[in-house]
Amino acid sequence: MAAAALIYFVEASVVTTFGIYIKPIAAEFYQNDIPFTRSGLTLAFSFFMLATTAFGFAAGYLTDRHIKPNWIILLGGILIGLGLYLSSHIHSLGQFYLSYSLCAGAGFACVYIPLVSCIPKWFKSRQGLALGIFYAGGGIGGLIFSPLIERWIATDGWRHAFVIVAIIALCLIIPASFLIKRDPSEKGLLPLGVTAPPENKPSAKTQAMGKSLTIAEAFKGKALWIYSLAFSLILAGILMAQVNLVPNATDVGIASATASLALGLANGFNAAGRLTGGYFADRIGPRKSTIFCLLLGAATLFWFIFVGQPWMLFLFAIPFGFAYGFSLPQQPRIAAQLFGAKNMGAIMGFSGILTVWGPAFGPFLGSYIYDHTGNYKLALIIGGAALLIGLGLILTLKLRGPLRIVAQTELLEKPLDAANPTE
């Protein structure tokens, strides 16, 4: 868990700090008469998300079946470092799309998908808390990197900032990747919370509770499609606000350093939300946890419409970051309850193909609306509505309880009611 959180600490900063680069890059190329609009730059983020999906399905399938996850994560760390370094040398939008979007995006998928598919295999109990710890690493990364990157850009320029982050990514992700294992059996262990039945043979009760769907079975059911559409809308609204936070705040007269600090605080409370969200997912379940965080998230997006002073920005950033972080452990936890943990990598990789369109084009839509209206108000209204619609879709899903191996003698001896296999 420590290694996974450290890796995500670096990796997530590639996404969470993107908005800090938008205005500095656009300003440099505008001075050189090259038309870098905000929407054109934000489109690089859209292509980044699409690249993570294209490579994520393959990364998940290989992690589940063929290649040890640490080798895939190692490759991903190299691609992230290379993509960021090449981004420091761009002179056109096309070059930025290739370096940041394609190269770094492929690296992000090769790191993220193996990590998020391995963790549920290690934890049957405390699974929500484990995922919360993992995702908290990304929030802490955003908290630390946001003000640092703003300072590096202010002193030496955005190109220098890309180089520094590239070096950090290579130096931390590569060595930490060798500590990741696919599942506890590689070390002769059982997942936390699992007690093997007598003679290590699963009972009929175990099989009924613990059945994991194949990707073909998940594909045929409607739950996968509803789940994917819901989180596509949710992430569209959230990332629309996060990526455009700094540009929006500076447009209304808030200093860049203050806006970057607010982004850092959002990421810091994002980390707190991830830990808290994981804990409450274990205690009250992901459904109630999701209701809380999405209602709070929608309210913050509507509040952002009226932000015009630093105190108003911080009043947005803190609950927004907390709600965003609180929502993240719910996504894989809901997937595990819908589909089981055995084929999580492949199923989440396929789900990513459906889910990615929201987070890919939500930020672009925000910038596009700005380019045509001069502000982000309509974008924030759409973003808040997207969260509420996504919540409504999640509430239609029927979630089963957490998968457990049942070892109690009375349960093993009790015949399974074939008419009621979930009794």
For 245-259, the pLDDT digits (tens) are 999 999 989 998 899
User: Quick one: 204 exposed, middle or buried, by C-beta within 10 A (0-12, 13-18, 19+)?
Assistant: middle
pLDDT above 80: residue 185: no
Q: What is the mean pLDDT of residues 223-239?
A: 91
* Separation between Cα atoms, residue 85 and residue 99, nearest integer Å: 8
Band (345; pLDDT cuts 50, 70, 90)? low
Cα–Cα distances in angstroms (integers) from residue 293 to residues 156, 319, 372, in the given order? 38, 9, 31
Question: Which ranges of 157-255 would DSSP assign to H, the alpha helix?
Answer: 158-177, 204-210, 215-220, 222-243, 245-251
pLDDT of residue 297: 94
* Separation between Cα atoms, residue 310 and residue 263, nearest integer Å: 12
* Separation between Cα atoms, residue 341 and residue 329, nearest integer Å: 15
pLDDT of residue 211: 66
Question: The tokens of 112 are what?
Answer: 């993220």
Question: The tokens of 416 are what?
Answer: 């399974």
pLDDT digits 0-9 by tens, 258-267: 998 999 899 8
CA angle, 129 then 133 then 138, to 5°: 140
pLDDT of residue 84: 96
Question: Which ranges of 125-177 would DSSP assign to H, the alpha helix?
Answer: 127-156, 158-177
pLDDT of residue 413: 36
pLDDT of residue 233: 94
Residues 88, 71: contact at Cβ < 8 Å? Answer: no
85 versus 184: the higher-pLDDT residue is 85
Q: Which residues contact 374 (CB under 8 A, 6 or more apart)?
A: none
pLDDT of residue 7: 93
Q: What is the mean pLDDT of residues 283-297?
A: 89
pLDDT of residue 205: 40
pLDDT of residue 419: 40
pTM: 0.74
pLDDT above 70: residue 380: yes
* Separation between Cα atoms, residue 298 and residue 321, nearest integer Å: 12
**If you ran DSSP here, which 8-state letter would residue 398 be given?**
-
Please state the separation of Cα 33 from the chain's center in Å.
36
Q: Which residues contact 154 (CB under 8 A, 6 or more apart)?
A: 256, 257
pLDDT digits 0-9 by tens, 191-201: 777 776 545 44
The length of the chain in residues reads: 423
Of 251-265, 320-334, 364-378, where does mean pLDDT reach its minimum? 320-334
Nearest to 39 by CA among 52, 48, 26: 26
123: β partners:
192
pLDDT of residue 237: 94
> What residue ranges define each of the domains in the chain, with the CATH number in brackets?
2-183+201-413 (1.20.1250.20)
